[in-house]
Structure 1
């Protein structure tokens, strides 16, 4: 078997929202289709992938370096020992050839996007949902079909009122979520506290709020927020400072005893390891948000999970950023602590397959081949346009 084509399309996911650092009015992503020569139901098996929101589409890097390397390789070097399926590790090694260590930036997004499509195709060829394939290969064969999810929202946007913010959060609770998230750092501390109070006023017992500064604060501001936020029982205080400022993160633990979260903007196992070594993260309460779609894909994410185990961390402390079905499958197949969800934003790429509902903060994984994109009709329509299926 072999890969016969890889197609990429850059698409807008623009929205008039903003967080503390960026606005999304010109945001893009890359959609990828990996076409194989394996025929099922009269059609080639195609794997699909896309990168998470917050990083732009990486079509140029894919077209100039990573796609040609795969298509120019001997097909026999990209398949498993039996020659009947792709080997994602071999495909990853092919993409990464002639790349210098370090500098884990946009290339990690390009490789991670293609890697997602490779795993989708691999699971489809195997005739399994990806979560089952992962449980078989890297677990005990029994996936966690029920996955915790939280609703990410609470962005800043023009003309937003407190009533509109409360209505947004109520809508998530009404849809079955028990944890919601809002942005901080895009307004004054006093204004952010008023927004927090507004959200908390609509939550009931057993429901919690997480807040996310998107790396906006210097140390003094991060500490000021930590002291003010300590009055609340928050699910977490997320990414207070620059993602690579491990000293800031380590210092902050002295001012904030409740759970913190970070990691979504660390794009390699090595950077994740530095966070664990030097960032003062606490394995009994803090959360790690590494996103495979931004950090070289699942092949690298498996290395990160191995590193965490070596440092005494449970993978249940991982709740990936991104709100996509790839991380849902990883959470179910490898036993992570859950996944982010965007109930209304970044569509059609965020969210779940049609008919999947949130119940008391959890979703149940459906039996769909591969990652399950075919079960999300508005997303799959875009994918079929790219692949020609």
Structure 2
């Protein structure tokens, strides 16, 4: 077993859209291709990339993590049963890295981790979801994954009517649950911003027949406690699917205060990038395992090796994997959701192309999607993404 080659590139995913905290006018993503030979005549290439919201990491990849992975020999890369030892390769990439500091480093490692799992599944001739179910769930895989359409971004000139039309398109694609951004009115007093957002929310709810369980709202961490409480009091009667990341993701004590006052589901976690950060959220954030949603993104948080540790920690603290609905809207997390029995997965039908969305010929039916039976993660079956990855 050896690494034959590793190549990386940077791909723009820039857009005029914005959430309540950042715009995406300069957004980029790292892409990698890791070619592995198993010594028995099999040669496969695994692909990886980082999720939206974090920029490409060419420097960290080139200076630290790719050289460490290239230096791995048979004793590191081959498991006892002859399969690719992704856990061993991950440990080699993290050698000489101090604890803590889980920012951009976790993104770079996550890109390579994704490619290694893609390669590992291809070497075994299995879809990644099947490999994960066989290894970690006694062979049990979900028949399909629940997915929701994430959108509702701010855009120059976009009014309530355009927002509703966007949500109509998602429903037409087979989604039953949608998510929209709130809290993004710049330089506006809380009272005025809330009034504007309530009008937007009520318009989308009208489209959904008044069913708040089919709508989630996302603040992207912009609020302080006062604004979060004011919005929470106004949102509570709608019984929304969830109220997402209203506060800074690392302000656990304030999250706990909000949870004392807001009874419907909260969602957070997409900007926590390690098992230890996730554990601090569970210990100190006041979240409730019977209703709240955890959105840790394996592509941003050191990859699946670390995500497996996070799931183990959650179960030790009384949380079901079904409370996990990863951020990112990519095929990697979708495979993980099906193989490990998570609660579902995000989807980006109209933004963050070509990385958002799933295989080209796998339609969403009544809010659920079935996985194709293709070796690896299945990037080759997503036409617009494969057009980018194959150039590596």
Partner of residue 294, structure 2: 288
Partner secondary structure for residue 308 of structure 1: helix
Partner of residue 284, structure 2: 278
Partner of residue 118, structure 2: 120
Partner of residue 108, structure 1: 106
Of 365, 376, 384, the match for 2:371: 365
- Within 5 A, what are the aligned runs for 1:34-73? 34-38=34-38, 44-73=43-72
Partner of residue 14, structure 1: 14
- Within 5 A, what are the aligned runs for 1:148-159? 148-159=146-157
Q: CA RMSD in A?
A: 1.4
Q: Distance in 2 between matches of 1:161 and 1:38?
A: 55
Shift of 1:204: 2.9
Shift of 1:74: 2.3
Q: Which moved more, 1:322-331 or 1:200-209?
A: 200-209
**2:171 counterpart of 1:173:** yes
Q: Distance in 2 between matches of 1:330 and 1:363?
A: 13
Shift of 1:75: 3.2
Of 145, 167, 170, the match for 2:143: 145
Partner of residue 26, structure 2: 26
| 1:3 and 1:75 in contact (8 A); partners too | no
Shift of 1:205: 6.6
Of 181, 184, 190, the match for 1:183: 181
| 2:16 and 2:24 in contact (8 A); partners too | yes
Shift of 1:44: 3.4
Q: Deviations over 1:65-117 (max 9, x none)?
A: 000011123233222114x3310100000000000001111000000110000
Partner secondary structure for residue 201 of structure 1: helix
| 1:149 and 1:361 in contact (8 A); partners too | yes
Q: Deviations over 1:202-255 (max 9, x none)?
A: 113766110000000011111111011112121000001000000111000122
Q: Distance in 2 between matches of 1:37 and 1:136?
A: 23
Q: Distance in 1 between matches of 2:38 and 2:80?
A: 17
Partner of residue 269, structure 1: 275
Shift of 1:306: 0.3
Deviation >2 Å, runs of 4+: 37-40, 73-76, 204-207
| 1:39 and 1:45 in contact (8 A); partners too | no
Shift of 1:261: 0.3
Q: Deviations over 1:39-68 (max 9, x none)?
A: 99x983100010000000011101000000
Shift of 1:320: 0.3
Q: Distance in 1 between matches of 2:60 and 2:73?
A: 21
Partner secondary structure for residue 34 of structure 1: strand
Q: Distance in 1 between matches of 2:289 and 2:149?
A: 23
Q: Distance in 1 between matches of 2:147 and 2:296?
A: 15
**2:320 counterpart of 1:322:** no
| 1:246 and 1:275 in contact (8 A); partners too | yes
| 2:2 and 2:73 in contact (8 A); partners too | no
Q: Distance in 1 between matches of 2:196 and 2:352?
A: 26
Q: Which runs of 5+ in 2 are unaligned?
A: 186-192
**2:239 counterpart of 1:240:** no
Partner of residue 225, structure 2: 219
Partner secondary structure for residue 199 of structure 2: helix
**2:305 counterpart of 1:299:** yes
Partner secondary structure for residue 254 of structure 1: helix
Partner of residue 201, structure 2: 196
Q: Which runs of 5+ in 1 are unaligned?
A: none
| 1:19 and 1:186 in contact (8 A); partners too | yes
| 1:28 and 1:57 in contact (8 A); partners too | yes
- Number of paired residues? 384
Q: Deviations over 1:156-215 (max 9, x none)?
A: 000001111100001111111111000011021111111111111111376611000000
Partner secondary structure for residue 385 of structure 1: coil
Q: Distance in 2 between matches of 1:158 and 1:356?
A: 32
Partner secondary structure for residue 149 of structure 2: strand
Partner secondary structure for residue 353 of structure 1: coil
